[in-house]
Amino acid sequence: MTDPVPGRPDRFLARRAVDVPPPVERVRRTVLPNGVRVVTDSMEAARSAAVPVWVTVGGRDEPGPLAGASHFLEHLLFKGTPDRDARSIACDVDAVGGEMNAYTASEHTVFYARVPAGAVEEGTALLLDVVGGPALRAEDVDAERQVILEELAAVEDDPDDVVGIRLFESLFPGHPLGREVLGTEATISSLTRDQVAGFFDRWYQPANLVVVGAGMVDHDLLVAQTAAQFGGRPPGERPVRAAPDGRTVARVVEERPVELVHLALAWRTVPADHPDRFAVAALNQLLGAGPSSRLFQEVREERGLAYGISSSATSHLDAGALTVSCTTSPGKAGEVLSVVRHEVAQLAADGPAEEEVERALGALRGGLLVSMEDASNRMLRLGTAESLRGGAVPVAEHLARLGAVTPEDVRRVAGTVLGGDEVLAVVGPRGTATKV
């Protein structure tokens, strides 16, 4: 590693990232007459492509009795179409060395394919067929029901998962954003084939579809393939969402037969398109997102209270969250919580130092530039931005917005966010409630 310039190591190291020119972006966007959006970022040097279909409907759009329907569909769509069964889909993907998978979130469900450059057209056709015309056979619904129930049981057996679930239930009580996207044992057990198919028919429509391509992709070809699959369909409706109110549950402690204490804290932050999101990202970075962050240095490096501690920032259409998580031994849990609260209170009252902000912004700038080397990261960036904000901010503009964040911006946001209501969730062994 190059030695820093004497007398100004932090600023020198933080600012070196901006000396690298932003990566070339070839972003194109087409909206079909019925509302399907096609967004691509072609990379001339790429030898593969990542092509996802973003369905802008997720866990928050399910009525209570249908909780878990989006995740159920994530499983079912790969079970086959009228012309393909699950085995033939898997064989076709494996034959070219590709990958096809999916994931479900509160506000979207994503199905994606990653294939070598020579198989992009075929891989895209397969993915569009899977999303556009699943069979949704009754026997597949019953088979996947058992798989999902096993998945739910595995989550309930993992205290890290459980503490995260309890945290968001407490941060957004009574609201779908606080609900586990897998559903519950009761809802998954009772969902019928007709209910799942009805959810698909209502929401998997052009108004809620974003087709993305990154890497070795041809925009015009992807538009043509998308139009062939979805172009003749009516737009359909978009979900109407209600924002969460200001209520939170301050503390929840769950005692289980486990060895360690799992701690998680959260504060409400800003929505996905809020101008302060860049300052929140800097606050998260300096609080606990990196090895130089306050929490990692104080909890792990200085005191040795835990193997690791981290923070993260998440955002939704109308809300956001800043979270901190850590696992430690029962005898250290109280001290860990005290240290975290001390650092949080100090940031809320005094804000960070200027060099902390510079270092955090340098990490964010560098992380963005490094991520753009990978087609999968580019597809995630495009799809997330299109679904939440109606389009991605160009990298050069993103860097400029980070560069415009001032220490005063971060101090103001720290005071607002960390000075707000704290939510604490804890999962630990018997007696934990008296230690935290």
Q: At what angle do helices 354-371 and 395-404 cross, to 10 degrees?
A: 170
| Percentages of the chain per state (helix, strand, coil), in multiples of 5 | 50, 20, 30
Q: Which CATH superfamily is domain 27-230 in?
A: Metalloenzyme, LuxS/M16 peptidase-like (3.30.830.10)
Q: In what order do the strands lie in the sheet with 99-104?
A: 27-31, 37-42, 209-215, 48-55, 109-116, 99-104
Instruction: Please report the DSSP string for 79-121 in residue order.
Output: GB-SS-BHHHHHHHHHHTT-EEEEEE-SS-EEEEEEEEGGGHH
Beta strand residue intervals within 260-401, DSSP E: 261-269, 309-315, 320-328
Task: Tell which CATH classification among 3.10.310.70, 3.40.50.300, 3.30.830.10, 1.20.1440.230 matches the domain 251-434.
Answer: 3.30.830.10
pTM of the model: 0.92
Out of 25, 44, 74, 335, which one is annotated catalytic? 74
The per-residue pLDDT for 20 is 62
**Measured CA distances, 244 to 173, 179, 340 (Å):** 8, 12, 27
- Domain chopping of the chain, boundaries: 27-230, 251-434
Sign of the alpha-carbon dihedral angle for 251, 252, 256, 261: negative
Q: What is the token pair recorded at 381?
A: 């960036």
Which pLDDT tens digits describe the chain residue by residue (436 residues)? Answer: 333 334 444 443 444 444 567 788 899 999 999 999 999 999 988 999 999 999 999 999 999 999 999 999 999 999 999 999 999 999 999 999 999 999 999 999 999 999 999 999 999 999 999 999 999 999 999 999 999 999 999 999 999 999 999 999 999 999 999 999 999 999 999 999 999 999 999 999 999 999 999 999 999 999 999 999 999 999 999 999 999 999 999 999 999 999 999 999 999 999 999 999 999 999 999 999 999 999 999 999 999 999 999 999 999 999 999 999 999 999 999 999 999 999 999 999 999 999 999 999 999 999 999 999 999 999 999 999 999 999 999 999 999 999 999 999 999 999 999 999 999 999 999 999 999 9
The per-residue pLDDT for 17 is 45
Q: What is the token pair recorded at 258?
A: 């486990």
- 385-424: buried (b, 16+ CB within 10 Å) or exposed (e) per residue? bbbbeeebeebeebbeebeebebebbbebbebbbeeebbb
- How many CB atoms neighbour CB 176 within 10 A? 20
Q: Do domains 27-230 and 251-434 have the same CATH topology?
A: yes
Strand partners of residue 428: 255
**Whether 355 contacts 10, CB under 8 Å:** yes
Three-state DSSP at 48 gives strand
The answer to whether residue 185 is catalytic is no
